[in-house]
């Protein structure tokens, strides 16, 4: 397995693979890999000849008071996991991939406005910009993203379509801990008590889904059911929203496939989760 740090080296490596007729699957990550990330690698392996994983904690997608400094990192462990999983190369750039006079941003202007976009105003601009830079470095045929970040995957799909990237975007299901908590690198920063309480997010989403399937059509009723449970467990809510699967617009009545999306803080850790409901 190769470890590549510079953009020109990465491009040369990928072009060589392409010339030899290989397809490239790409999994962008911020590292501190868990089974969720590894499932994306497996998905890319199934669909492509070679898999490239990027590991980069992208500063431009963090707000000024967010957890950039405390975001968990362990490159050695990540590299070992990638090697075990048969990854061809890791792209591990330094912050110098943003030159000092960097002044070009990629912005999606609709899907990125609600949900996390309301609470993290520059987050998606950071995401779309770094993903564009990574696409241009790795030159993949296909890229795999996780449903865990449902809004992110829709924003990326829209960007790829709008800007004609010749890349197929695949979205893979959420991988969870045994008790239902969505796997996340940030879970490491939860205290034991917070970790136990955080399972309420997924539990309340499952209760909400059942209420809808049993005929509850009011988003407000669903949102307050979830909010109460999370608040009672010690979580501090950013949002609990019911949005359409089509456009991520908030619904006033549940009459088409929806996503219930949640962001809540347990202690210093901000967690997100979601559930898709087909009706």
Catalytic (active site) residue 34: no
149: contact with ligand AMP by CB under 6 A: yes
116: contact with ligand AMP by CB under 6 A: no
The region of 37-45, 105-113, 192-200, 260-268 touching ligand AMP under the rule CB under 6 A is 37-45
**Cα–Cα distance measured from residue 131 to residue 198, given in angstroms and rounded to the nearest whole number:** 29
Which of 57, 226 has the CB closer to ligand AMP?
57
According to DSSP, the residues that pair with 275 across neighbouring strands are 260
With CB under 6 A as the contact rule, the residue among 145, 235, 264, 273 that binds ligand AMP is: 145
The binding track of 182-211 with respect to ligand AMP, each residue x by CB under 6 A or -, is xxxx--------------------------
DSSP, collapsed to helix, strand or coil, labels residue 182 as strand
Which of 40, 269 has the CB closer to ligand AMP?
40
According to DSSP, the residues that pair with 89 across neighbouring strands are 2, 52
The region of 32-40, 93-101, 134-142, 226-234 touching ligand AMP under the rule CB under 6 A is 32-40
Give the binding-site size for ligand AMP (rule: CB under 6 A). 17
Residues near 32 by beta carbon (within 8 Å), at least 6 away in sequence: 71, 72, 73, 74, 78, 185, 188
Q: How far is the CB of 95 from ligand AMP (least distance, A)?
A: 16
- State the distance between the two ends of the chain, measured CA to CA, in whole angstroms: 45
Pick the catalytic residue from 37, 92, 123, 265: 37
**Cα–Cα distance measured from residue 176 to residue 274, given in angstroms and rounded to the nearest whole number:** 12
Helix boundaries (H) for the chain = 7-19, 35-47, 75-84, 116-119, 123-138, 150-162, 192-197, 199-213, 219-232
Instruction: List contacts with ligand AMP (CB under 6 A).
Output: 29-30, 36-37, 39-40, 145-146, 148-149, 172, 174-175, 182-185
């Amino acid at each position: 397995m190769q470890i590549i740090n510079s953009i020109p080296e990465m491009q040369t490596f990928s072009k060589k693979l392409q010339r030899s007729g290989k397809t490239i699957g790409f999994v962008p990550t911020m590292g501190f890999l868990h089974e969720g990330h590894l499932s994306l690698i497996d998905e890319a392996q199934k669909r492509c000849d070679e898999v490239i994983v990027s590991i980069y904690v992208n500063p431009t997608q963090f707000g000024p008071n967010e957890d950039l400094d405390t975001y968990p990192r362990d490159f050695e462990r990540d590299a070992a996991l990638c090697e075990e999983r048969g990854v061809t190369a890791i792209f591990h750039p330094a912050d110098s991939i943003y030159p000092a006079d960097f002044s070009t941003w990629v912005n999606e202007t609709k899907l990125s406005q609600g949900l996390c976009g309301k609470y993290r105003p520059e987050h998606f601009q950071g995401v779309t910009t770094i993903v564009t830079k990574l696409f241009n470095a790795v030159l993949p045929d296909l890229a795999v993203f996780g449903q865990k970040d449902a809004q992110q995957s829709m924003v990326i799909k829209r960007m790829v379509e709008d800007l004609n990237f010749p890349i197929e975007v695949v979205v893979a299901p959420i991988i969870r801990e045994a008790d239902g908590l969505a796997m996340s690198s940030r879970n490491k920063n939860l205290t034991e008590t917070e970790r136990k309480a955080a399972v309420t997010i997924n539990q309340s989403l499952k209760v909400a889904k059942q209420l809808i399937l049993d005929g509850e059509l009011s988003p407000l009723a669903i949102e307050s059911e979830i909010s109460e449970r999370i608040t009672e467990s010690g979580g501090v809510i950013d949002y609990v929203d019911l949005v359409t699967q089509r456009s991520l617009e908030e619904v006033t009545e549940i009459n088409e496939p929806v996503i219930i999306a949640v962001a809540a803080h347990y202690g210093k850790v901000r967690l997100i989760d979601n559930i898709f409901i087909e009706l």
